[in-house]
Amino acid sequence: MRRNAGLFVAISLLSGFGSSAMTLVAGIWILDLTGSTGLAALAGLCVYAPVLAGPLLGGLLDRAPRRPLVIAVNLLLAASLLALLAVRGPGQTWLIFAVSCAYGVSYVLIDAGETALLPSALSPTELGDVNGWRSSAQEGMKLVAPLVGAGLYAWHDGHAVVVLSAAMPVLVATLYAAVRLHRTPPDQPAPRRNGLRTGLSVLFGQRATRVPVTLAAVSIAMSGFTTAAIYAVVTTELRLPTTFLGVLASAQGAGSIVGGLIVGRLLARRGPVAVGVAGTVLFALGLLARCLPWWPVTIAGALVAGVGLPWTLVAAVTAVQTHTPSALLGRVSATANTAMFGPLVVAIPLGGAAVHLGARPPLVAAVVICLTAVVVTHPRPQSLRSARRMADRDPATR
């Protein structure tokens, strides 16, 4: 088991490094070729837009052997990245967009595939720890990979980054092949109907997955909604240089690394629902701290938010892995990713519009939305006790 855990963490390190470096450089490359900031921003949209097709793409993982499919997707991703070696001028910009879309599709398949493979490679007690370690590895790469990618681009344009990024999926495919799938998780009765509704019915039909996924979706959406507001707080309210945003990003990244390392123990003791609630509350407190007109508190808020946000994500992923029939784990995992990350497509532009009301109103609104989600999805203990007493008195439940 420890061998498999190490392999999955290494997979997260390599894949996180390659994707973070290439995603940044794709935008810079387009900007240099076309001079258009709008086109450069579209590269990022191409990467994240395929998550909306998660339920459809995830169905492939339930119809084919998962490990061979994930290995094949990684190798195809490497081949598509090498196509960028043909980019020589503005006329080949379309290739960067095409490969960005391929990256997005592969991200949906690989992420859902890995989520589905983990229960077959690890014991249930290890899932929380390994999911947390994977989260820390990915956040750590977000701090390192953009610097390496930008440095390589400055040294020898985008082709050097392409070669490095293309090597990562090949190494990842090799590690997937080395994973020992020596156990089959206990299955649960699977719904008989097929199609898009299956993933949604399994995901939201039980409280054990519905609550953590909903809280993660709300928190992640609010992280996108408040991006423009945080920029405005730094530049307008605190009157600090834009480089201070890098300090906040580093603080949040450090919080995410620490949060990922400890979330496994919390999941083992409290369960995904409680950890999802705690993560959402911490994230809301981090946003609230950024409303205060003092830069040390703003940094502390970024650190706290960095701890809370991965807790919501890891809690949701672990809940899906432990409460989903194995035959449906591919599509349910992909549906969960769509539910959690899809709202960003709407939340980011809404946040850009809301910041015209001022820097702090969007932050306060996000705090209210997060805490409301906690209250709505997590009833008070007194309410739970009342519900249980009513169930005990109902003859139909006996």
Mean pLDDT of 310-327: 84
Higher pLDDT, 130 or 219: 219
Question: Could you tell me if 91 and 142 lie in one domain?
Answer: yes
pLDDT of residue 41: 62
Question: Could you tell me if 129 and 270 lie in one domain?
Answer: no
Whether 386 is covered by a domain: the verdict is no
CB–CB of 284/296 below 8 Å?
no
Residue that has been written with the tokens 């990350």 in this structure: 341
Count CB-CB contacts under 10 A for residue 125: 11
> What residue type is assigned to position 63 of the chain?
R
pLDDT of residue 186: 43
Last residue of a domain, one of 181, 213, 245: 181
CB–CB of 264/131 below 8 Å?
yes
Higher pLDDT, 101 or 388: 101
Count CB-CB contacts under 10 A for residue 141: 22
Whether 155 is covered by a domain: the verdict is yes
pLDDT of residue 388: 44
Judged against a pLDDT cut of 60, whether residue 389 lies above it is answered with no
Question: Could you tell me if 223 and 362 lie in one domain?
Answer: yes
In this structure, of 195-199, 225-229, 268-272, 337-341, the range with the lowest mean pLDDT score is 195-199
Question: Could you tell me if 172 and 209 lie in one domain?
Answer: no
Confidence of residue 187 (pLDDT cuts 50, 70, 90): very low
Confidence of residue 38 (pLDDT cuts 50, 70, 90): low
pLDDT of residue 382: 45
pLDDT tens string 367-377: 999 999 999 88
pTM of the model: 0.74
Last residue of a domain, one of 155, 181, 207: 181
Range of the domain at 42: 1-181
pLDDT of residue 280: 94
Higher pLDDT, 70 or 41: 70
Confidence of residue 1 (pLDDT cuts 50, 70, 90): low
Question: Could you tell me if 164 and 202 lie in one domain?
Answer: no
Share above pLDDT 70 across residues of the chain, in percent, rounded to a whole number: 86
CATH of the domain at 109: 1.20.1250.20
Question: Could you tell me if 311 and 358 lie in one domain?
Answer: yes
Whether 308 is covered by a domain: the verdict is yes
Share above pLDDT 90 across residues of the chain, in percent, rounded to a whole number: 17
Higher pLDDT, 385 or 314: 314
Q: What are the b/e assignments for 187-207, b being 16+ CB within 10 Å?
A: eeeeeeeeeeebbbebbbeee
pLDDT of residue 188: 44
Q: What is the 3-state secondary structure (H, E, C) of the chain?
A: CHHHHHHHHHHHHHHHHHHHHHHHHHHHHHHHHHCCHHHHHHHHHHHHHHHHHHHHHHHHHHHCCHHHHHHHHHHHHHHHHHHHHHCCCHHHHHHHHHHHHHHHHHHHHHHHHHHHHHHHHCCHHHHHHHHHHHHHHHHHHHHHHHHHHHHHHHHHHHHHHHHHHHHHHHHHHHHHHHCCCCCCCCCCCCCCCCCHHHHHHHHHCCHHHHHHHHHHHHHHHHHHHCHHHHHHHHHHHCCCCCCHHHHHHHHHHHHHHHHHHHHHHHHHHHCHHHHHHHHHHHHHHHHHHCCCCCHHHHHHHHHHHHHHHHHHHHHHHHHHHHHCCHHHHHHHHHHHHHHHHCCHHHHHHHHHHHHHHCCHHHHHHHHHHHHHHHHHHCCCHHHHHHHHHHHHHCHHHC
Question: Could you tell me if 154 and 266 lie in one domain?
Answer: no
pLDDT tens string 76-86: 999 999 999 99
Judged against a pLDDT cut of 50, whether residue 191 lies above it is answered with no
Judged against a pLDDT cut of 70, whether residue 352 lies above it is answered with yes
Judged against a pLDDT cut of 60, whether residue 128 lies above it is answered with yes
Count CB-CB contacts under 10 A for residue 3: 11
Question: Could you tell me if 97 and 1 lie in one domain?
Answer: yes
Residue that has been written with the tokens 């490990």 in this structure: 67
Confidence of residue 243 (pLDDT cuts 50, 70, 90): low
Judged against a pLDDT cut of 50, whether residue 170 lies above it is answered with yes
> Closest by alpha carbon to 118, among 200, 175, 184, 193?
184
Give the chain's mean pLDDT: 80
Tokens of 258: 């620490």
Question: Could you tell me if 92 and 202 lie in one domain?
Answer: no
CB–CB of 54/334 below 8 Å?
yes
- Report the distance separating Cα 363 and Cα 224, nearest Å: 11
Whether 32 is covered by a domain: the verdict is yes
Tokens of 82: 């090498």
Question: Could you tell me if 57 and 99 lie in one domain?
Answer: yes
Question: Could you tell me if 55 and 130 lie in one domain?
Answer: yes
Query: Which residues, at least 6 apart from 64, have a Cβ–Cβ distance to it below 8 Å?
Result: none
pLDDT of residue 390: 41
- Look at the chain and report how many structural domains it folds into: 2
pLDDT tens string 7-35: 888 888 888 888 878 877 887 788 788 88
Whether 187 is covered by a domain: the verdict is no
Question: Could you tell me if 15 and 85 lie in one domain?
Answer: yes
Last residue of a domain, one of 181, 208, 237: 181
Whether 398 is covered by a domain: the verdict is no
Higher pLDDT, 137 or 194: 137
Whether 16 is covered by a domain: the verdict is yes
Whether 189 is covered by a domain: the verdict is no
Mean pLDDT of 193-205: 67
